[in-house]
Chains A and B, each alone.
Chain A
Amino acid sequence: MLTFLVRRLLLAVPVLLGVVFVVMLTIDLLPGDAVTLMLGEHATKDAVAALREHLGLDKPFAVRYLDYVSRVARGDLGRSIQQNRPVADELADAWPATLELTMAALVIATLLGIGAGVASAVWPNSLFDAGARLGSLFGLSMPIFWTGLVLIVIFSLWLNWLPVGGAGSLGHLVLPAITLALPSVAMVARMTRSAVLEVLREDYVRTARAKGLAERWVLGRHALRNAFIPILTLLGLQSGQLMGGAVLTETVFAWPGLGRMMVKAIFARDYILLQGAVLVFALAFVVINLLVDLSYGALDPRIGRQG
């Protein structure tokens, strides 16, 4: 178990190095120059050159990459160009809001998605199943930023139940979390339905039924437990979707998280802040999927022993 954990953590290092490389390379190709943006159109050549040197932008790409990586390894993420604050502080301010939002969405996606998927599989081709499948199709097709606006119109404008945007109370969390969760609810419901249907066709389920086991035990002990492995994999991958969706949801609801900060950083050409934000997202994705891999062992003892 420990060797598995260590090996997986070591495997994450090249992935993160690669992520930083890709981000820095794309930012390096930026047509808009951060320095001119900071100093304005009329800055003197000397001032621009001085600031470029100060930011290290005069050095070749490879040098800057190694420099950045070695500083990150020592915990220094640099200073935000726009705010002139340490990037680490900016990120520390923003990530709890994003974590709160994505976790709330993940909980909704898990409960609603698995619930609807299991019900669909247990009563296939029923009215509920048809409704859930149609709902999933719509859930996958709705642009997340639009869902958010529609929910605002219904629940804030017409019903006046919930705030339009911002953060601070549980009421502020409801609409963004539902908005962010909906596509994942649809994905999880579809996946759960097919996974449970698949398992219900297995011989051991027939055996369990044949020996007279109550249906809820057949489901709980045999079917769901085995269907959970593909569902769990999907939930891990969905966390990536949620982080991408968080960029849009936070923008729609003025939610003070990493996603909104990233969009602002792109517009301000604040590439140091952008790099830091992307790194946090990538790290979170790697850690979540590591946790998913670890939990396989808890669900299926065979996997743990091989690892």
Chain B
Amino acid sequence: MNAWARFRRNRLALIGLALVLVLALSAALAPWIAPYDPARQSLFEKRAKPGAKYLLGADEFGRDILSRVIYGSRIALLVGLLSAIIAVGGGLVLGTLAGFIGGWLDSVMMRAIEILLAFPYLLLALAIVAALGNGAINTTIAVGVWGVPGVTRIVRGSVLVLRETEYVGAARALGAPVAALLRRHILPNVLPGLIVYATLFMANAILLEAALSFLGLGVQPPTASWGLMVSTGRDVLLIAPHVATVPGLAIMLAVLAFNLVGDGLRDALDPRLRGST
């Protein structure tokens, strides 16, 4: 049975995939499906309750929350996707170097990674954002860099194992150049695990972007970012709870979607791991 057939039989994974598709569509079609301009203010309708006109209510400036949630999916997906690319790209290069070359380079890099992983999560990203300054692009970089050590360690681990396999040894003995060795024998075997990791990383990246924006250190107003929306809604939490809680629901669904797909991919690509965390 191939991976897709196994994935298809996993009901939760399919729900996750459907949610991811909904997110992708809402990000791509935002200008056409959003009922209002996300920046349009209506001071008469400040903090309007969910109803016929504003399905999810209006925020403290009278902006339509549904439209802002739809536009917010663009930031969430963009930051998630780009930071995953940064994390996987950086980790792939560093992990392959450490695992393939080994020796002192490997030791030094692994110590450095242990130090970075000793940082409580969020604190490293906070430090990077503090250094780069806030804004969507810097947030993406911070989240991506935050992910590099984890990917590096995974890639290094698999490269170390693969390097000792007989088929890599045989290819080497036959005089295969290093580039071909990496491309034909190492990369294809590292990739499945990496795809799973990258999917689960997307979930964490969306959470981290939301957290940074919530703290005021990520995406800046007036851009519609879910974390930022929760943050501004917090000021009116006790008089209009929907302003803060509705965007948070969007964060949860997006993160849940990528977690479900990641779990499903892991079970489908490596059936031996089924059910483990």
A residues neighboring B (CB under 8 Å): 14-15, 18-19, 22-23, 26-32, 137-138, 140-146, 149-150, 152-153, 157, 164, 187, 190-191, 193-194, 197, 240-241, 243-245, 247-248, 251-252, 262-263, 266-267, 274, 278, 281-282, 285-286
Question: Which residues of B are found within 8 Å of A149, using beta-carbon distances?
Answer: 230, 233-234, 237, 241, 244-245, 248
Question: Which residues of A are found within 8 Å of B120, using beta-carbon distances?
Answer: 240-241, 243-244, 281-282, 285
Q: Does B211 contact A (CB under 8 A)?
A: yes
Determine how close the nearest CB of chain B comes to the CB of A233; give it in whole angstroms: 12
Determine how close the nearest CB of chain B comes to the CB of A224; give it in whole angstroms: 17
Q: Does the CB pair B216–A267 fall under 8 Å?
A: yes
Complex Cα–Cα for A264 and B223 (A)? 23
Q: Does the CB pair A22–B277 fall under 8 Å?
A: no
Q: Does B127 contact A (CB under 8 A)?
A: yes
A-B contact number at CB 8 A: 146
Nearest A residue to B216, CB-CB: A267
Q: Does the CB pair B238–A141 fall under 8 Å?
A: no
Q: Does B148 contact A (CB under 8 A)?
A: no
Q: When A18-B115, A263-B215 are in contact, do A30 and B130 touch as well, CB less than 8 Å?
A: yes
B247-267 Cβ-contact flags toward A at 8 Å (1 or 0): 010011101100110000000
Nearest B residue to A188, CB-CB: B277
Complex Cα–Cα for A153 and B121 (A)? 27
Q: When A143-B211, A244-B121 are in contact, do A150 and B217 touch as well, CB less than 8 Å?
A: no
Q: Does the CB pair B276–A143 fall under 8 Å?
A: no
Partner among B119, B216, B277 whose Cβ is within 8 Å of the Cβ of A194:
B277
Q: Does B203 contact A (CB under 8 A)?
A: yes
Determine how close the nearest CB of chain B comes to the CB of A206; give it in whole angstroms: 20
Question: Which residues of A are found within 8 Å of B215, using beta-carbon distances?
Answer: 247-248, 251, 263
Q: Does the CB pair A152–B251 fall under 8 Å?
A: no
Complex Cα–Cα for A266 and B128 (A)? 11
A-B contact pairs, 25 of them (CB 8 A): A18-B111, A18-B112, A18-B118, A22-B127, A27-B127, A32-B133, A138-B256, A141-B253, A141-B255, A141-B256, A142-B252, A142-B255, A143-B230, A146-B244, A149-B237, A244-B120, A245-B122, A251-B215, A262-B126, A263-B126, A263-B215, A266-B217, A281-B119, A282-B118, A286-B118
Those 4 A-B pairs whose CB atoms lie nearest each other, nearest first: A146-B248, A244-B122, A18-B115, A243-B120
Question: Which residues of B are found within 8 Å of A252, using beta-carbon distances?
Answer: 234
Q: Does the CB pair A19–B251 fall under 8 Å?
A: no
Determine how close the nearest CB of chain B comes to the CB of A185; give it in whole angstroms: 13
Interface SS of A by simple majority? helix
Q: Does the CB pair B252–A138 fall under 8 Å?
A: yes
Question: Which residues of B are found within 8 Å of A266, using beta-carbon distances?
Answer: 126, 130, 217
Q: When A137-B259, A137-B260, A149-B230 are in contact, do A143 and B237 touch as well, CB less than 8 Å?
A: no
Complex Cα–Cα for A202 and B133 (A)? 53
Q: Does B275 contact A (CB under 8 A)?
A: yes
Question: Which residues of A are found within 8 Å of B276, using beta-carbon distances?
Answer: 194
Q: Does B116 contact A (CB under 8 A)?
A: yes
Partner among A18, A29, A137 whose Cβ is within 8 Å of the Cβ of B256:
A137
Q: Does the CB pair A282–B131 fall under 8 Å?
A: no
Partner among B118, B211, B248, B260 whose Cβ is within 8 Å of the Cβ of A248:
B211
Q: Does the CB pair A248–B119 fall under 8 Å?
A: no
Question: Which residues of B are found within 8 Å of A144, using beta-carbon distances?
Answer: 211
Complex Cα–Cα for A194 and B126 (A)? 33
> Can you add 11 more A-B contacts, CB < 8 Å, to A137-B259, A141-B259?
A18-B112, A19-B119, A22-B116, A141-B255, A149-B233, A149-B241, A243-B120, A248-B211, A262-B126, A281-B120, A286-B118
Determine how close the nearest CB of chain A comes to the CB of B215; give it in whole angstroms: 6
Q: Does the CB pair A197–B275 fall under 8 Å?
A: yes
Nearest B residue to A234, CB-CB: B277
Q: When A149-B234, A194-B277, A248-B214 are in contact, do A143 and B248 touch as well, CB less than 8 Å?
A: yes
Determine how close the nearest CB of chain B comes to the CB of A20; give it in whole angstroms: 10
Question: Which residues of B are found within 8 Å of A285, using beta-carbon distances?
Answer: 118, 120
Question: Which residues of B are found within 8 Å of A240, using beta-carbon distances?
Answer: 118-121
Q: Does the CB pair A26–B127 fall under 8 Å?
A: yes
Determine how close the nearest CB of chain A comes to the CB of B141; give it in whole angstroms: 12
Q: Does B227 contact A (CB under 8 A)?
A: yes
Complex Cα–Cα for A266 and B132 (A)? 12
Q: Does the CB pair A281–B251 fall under 8 Å?
A: no
Complex Cα–Cα for A305 and B244 (A)? 54
Q: Does the CB pair B259–A140 fall under 8 Å?
A: yes
Q: Does B173 contact A (CB under 8 A)?
A: no
Question: Which residues of B are found within 8 Å of A19, using beta-carbon distances?
Answer: 115, 118-119
Residue of B119, B128, B237 with most chain A CB atoms under a 10 A cut-off: B119
Residue of B122, B253, B255 with most chain A CB atoms under a 10 A cut-off: B122
Nearest B residue to A246, CB-CB: B120
Question: Which residues of A are found within 8 Å of B121, using beta-carbon distances?
Answer: 240-241, 244
B156-167 Cβ-contact flags toward A at 8 Å (1 or 0): 000000000000
Determine how close the nearest CB of chain B comes to the CB of A240; give it in whole angstroms: 5
Q: Does B87 contact A (CB under 8 A)?
A: no
Complex Cα–Cα for A264 and B237 (A)? 22
Determine how close the nearest CB of chain A comes to the CB of B135; give it in whole angstroms: 11
Determine how close the nearest CB of chain B comes to the CB of A241; give it in whole angstroms: 6
Nearest B residue to A277, CB-CB: B123
Q: When A244-B122, A266-B130, A285-B118 are in contact, do A141 and B112 touch as well, CB less than 8 Å?
A: no
